[in-house]
Amino acid sequence: MTNDRDIIRFDNFKAQYALIREEIDTAVHRVLDSGWFILGKELESFEKEFAQYIGCNYCLGVGNGTDAITLSLMALGIGRGDEVITPNMTAFPTVSGIMKAGATPVVTDILYEDGLMDVTKIAAKINKNTKAIMPVHLYGQSCDMDPICDLARQYGLHVVEDCAQSVGATYKTKKTGAIGAIGAFSFYPTKNLGAYGDAGAVVTNDETIYQKLLSLRNYGQRVRYYHDEFGLNSRLDEIQAAILNVKLKYLEGWNEKRRSLAISYREKLYTVSCLQENSYGLPVYHLFVIKTRNRDKLMEYLKSRNIQTLIHYPVPMSKQKGFGLQGDESFPGTMRFAEEILSIPIYPELSDENLERTANEINTFCAGNDQHE
């Protein structure tokens, strides 16, 4: 029988909670005692702190990261008949957030080297219906934002950053989310800044967009019971905001720890490829992704050694039935990438011993299977 201690988990929420239990419990009880659960002081405080952390004038807490994307597009007046260009390799909510706004996602190929949007492929997708580019800062890496913003300026498009996986990552002197018109964040529990439930946020420097979002996240009302426009119910609740207020203080340290774990993995893993590191910014290693042609067998082997892994993501958007577009188009970078990637455990509480065991098992398996590329 497997001893639970022998399992190297992909995530370990209990370990993190154990470290901050007292502060979290105090924060949650403060909300329960206050009797105020939606749009209150905890959210106000989180929005102020998070805006400052990202380096933007405004932040709005919303229900989840998918809504953050939808609301961002709605605030820019993007909807039915409009197209939004985004990478083919992303989490499905990127495209569902676009579709929920009524717009059409148009996916582009990625670079096999880092899994990020291939900037040279964007221009060919721009037409008269294109209204925005939505780069996805996948796995905690920043996209190369200067050429994306240059293209957007040239064609008069908005840039909305999908920062669900990149909280704290930098591009040159700025944090992701502070570069385009709007940054959309998710605080889903697995994220580097994870709530204990669904949660998300939108950041911007534009006051008009901010005012619009205040209404759009709250049934389109600015004055209670007066609904000037169609809006959603998508608010970050007080309990989640109180939890995030506690966790935000730890985020820089946690991200630093992820970076040092990533350095160890890169040093130890000599039988597989790691993603190319881009010198224009600091990643936050939401995920640590390796590439090998023997991915499926390696995954099986690691499972048999009690090491949990996942694939982010096995099916590109163009091949998802729920997307149903561009299925016949060729995306060579994305297809090769999707067949070879494997995400291995990385989180601040991962012990050096477990990191070493994971790396050794990968090397043992891949050396025996002649996998070095």
Ligand X SMILES: Cc1ncc(COP(=O)(O)O)c(C=O)c1O
3-state secondary structure of 200: strand
**Which residue among 105, 135, 194, 200 contacts ligand X (CB under 6 A)?**
200
Q: Which of 72, 88, 94, 130 binds ligand X (CB under 6 A)?
A: 94
Residue 245 as a binder of ligand X (CB under 6 A): the answer is no
Least Cβ distance, residue 94 to ligand X (angstroms): 4
Identity of the residue numbered 285: Y
150 in helix, strand or coil? helix
Residue 240 Cβ vs ligand X, minimum distance, rounded to whole Å = 11
Among residues 42, 47, 58, 65, the one that binds ligand X under rule CB under 6 A: 65
CB of 286 to ligand X, least distance (A): 8
Contact between 90 and ligand X per CB under 6 A: yes
CB-nearer residue toward ligand X: 191 or 212: 191
Please say whether the beta carbons of 42 and 244 come within 8 A: no
Q: Is 188 in the site for ligand X (CB under 6 A)?
A: yes
Structure tokens at 196: 């204990």
Q: How far is the CB of 343 from ligand X (least distance, A)?
A: 12
d(C-alpha 26, C-alpha 23), whole Å: 5
Residues 6+ away with beta carbon under 8 Å from 112: 333, 336, 337
Distance between alpha carbon 176 and the CA centroid of its chain, in Å? 11
- What CA–CA distance (Å, rounded) separates 74 from 125? 21
**Of positions 162, 237, 340, 361, contacts ligand X by CB under 6 A:** 162
Output 93 or 283, the one with its CB closest to ligand X. Answer: 93
- Residue 310, token pair as written in the block: 């996942």
Q: Is 133 in the site for ligand X (CB under 6 A)?
A: no
Residue whose token pair is 């929005």: 47
Please pick, from the candidates 64, 108, 218, 271, the single residue that binds ligand X as defined by CB under 6 A: 64
Cβ of residue 166: shortest distance to ligand X, in angstroms?
9
Q: Residues 212-246, buried b or exposed e (16+ Cβ, 10 A)?
A: bbbbbbbbbeeeeeeeeeebbebbbbbbbbbbbbb
Q: Is 234 in the site for ligand X (CB under 6 A)?
A: no
Contact (Cβ atoms closer than 8 angstroms) between residue 358 and residue 303: no
Asked if 66 is part of the footprint of ligand X (rule: CB under 6 A), the reply reads yes
Residue least distant from ligand X (Cβ) = 65
CB of 265 to ligand X, least distance (A): 21
Q: Pick from 70, 130, 142, 165: which binds ligand X (CB under 6 A)?
A: 165
Helical ranges in 82-226 per DSSP H: 92-100, 145-155, 207-216
* Residues present in the chain in total: 373
The least CB distance from residue 68 to ligand X, in Å, is 7
Task: Name which of 239, 140, 247, 250 is nearest 194 in CA terms.
Answer: 247
| Interface residue with ligand X, options 101, 143, 164, 169 (CB under 6 A) | 164
Which residues lie near ligand X (CB under 6 A)?
A: 64-66, 90-91, 93-94, 136, 162, 164-165, 186, 188, 198, 200
